[in-house]
Amino acid sequence: MKRQLLTLLVLATLAIAGGAALGASPGTIVLAEDPTFLGDGADFPGMWEYVYDVYGDASPVDRVTLSGFDASAIENQWPWSGWGRTGSLRQKWDFHVAHEPVYYERYAYGSYAVGGTGPWILEGNDWSMDNPWHAPSEYVADGPFPAFMWAGKVADDGESLAFISNAQNRVVEGLLLTFRIVHPYAPGPINWTLLSLRRVGQSNGTVLGPAILATTPGDYDDDGDVDADDVDLLRANMGGDPATYDADGDGDVDEDDMIWHVENLVELTDGSGRLGTRRGDFNLDGFVDGTDLALMKTAFGQPGMGYADGNANPDLFVDGTDLAILKTNFGFIADPAVPEPVTIGLLALGGLALLRRRA
């Protein structure tokens, strides 16, 4: 009886092991960093950047797929067609490109390296970029495999992105691939799949990606426009979530984001559709003038005031600091239209009255 139980136990163990070999997990996909809203000076300002790492586990990785989002709206996709595939998402890095591939292979990547050491080397093409997330030596492979030379292919229905790997049945554990997506949509859950054709294995999961159709950058209250209310929401979230409020894309939420928001994202109230003004333009008409000074005068010295009341900085008071900001930008014109006549004398008189009232 004991021998029979032992035999059954051995057979069950072998069956489980065989199942793991046939259907073993190829690995996982994770974010290399939090999604980033790209600010002024970036290659795609006003877009979201998503950077993904692909890790191998117990099966060859033959296919990497992201789905559940509008892949046709990817911004950093450069036209290319060859070997029966189209694309191409060339801002990607793997072991193959970290070991100085030949020229026609380097052409399929954003940068390459020599021997897996030293810095990443750029080809100087439009899609060339450094890989600040990983050094070349961090990527693993068995010989030259897997190699993700094939373009990141967008499905015909536009709802998924796939990378085809020349895995050659090689099982590699560790970092296999990093790739970058630039997209107008804000972060939300999307799907990922790693497929092992030879081992009949598959891994699935979700990860943050370009899932949410963003209305307008800077429309934090989702009411369809970017106005003083959005400036106030940004001010109320100083030090908050960079994924939502980091307007200038430098990794934090501070007064610089408020400045960038006012100068680049707010909509002028004249119905022209033009964006951006200067702090001190409290009614967002495109001018920093006597009207704005009058708004400030009404709220001067009062706590709990918003941008439309004359509060030009992240605190909750309309005071001398706000007056100094208005003075710096006084006379600014956001468009060629001729504003109402204003004079520095008017500003001086108004400022003097405010300071007397404060005293």
Torsion sign across C-alpha atoms 230, 233, 235, 237? negative
The span from the CA of 219 to the CA of 296, in Å, is 24
Q: Which residue has the tokens 């809203």?
A: 37
Three-state SS for 271?
coil
Residue 37 phi/psi, 5° resolution?
-85, 120
331 Rama sector, left if φ>0, alpha if ψ -120 to 50, beta otherwise:
left
The tens digit of pLDDT for each residue in 49-73 reads 999 999 998 788 888 999 999 998 9
The span from the CA of 36 to the CA of 252, in Å, is 10
pLDDT of residue 199: 59
- Per the CB < 8 A criterion, the answer to whether 237 and 244 are in contact is yes
Confidence of residue 351 (pLDDT cuts 50, 70, 90): low
The tens digit of pLDDT for each residue in 134-165 reads 999 999 988 777 878 766 778 777 788 888 87
- Per the CB < 8 A criterion, the answer to whether 147 and 166 are in contact is yes
The span from the CA of 349 to the CA of 346, in Å, is 5
- Per the CB < 8 A criterion, the answer to whether 208 and 31 are in contact is yes
The span from the CA of 263 to the CA of 265, in Å, is 6
The tens digit of pLDDT for each residue in 244-290 reads 888 887 888 999 999 999 998 999 998 888 899 999 999 999 999 99
- Answer yes or no: pTM beyond 0.85: no
Domain ranges of the chain: 24-212, 228-358
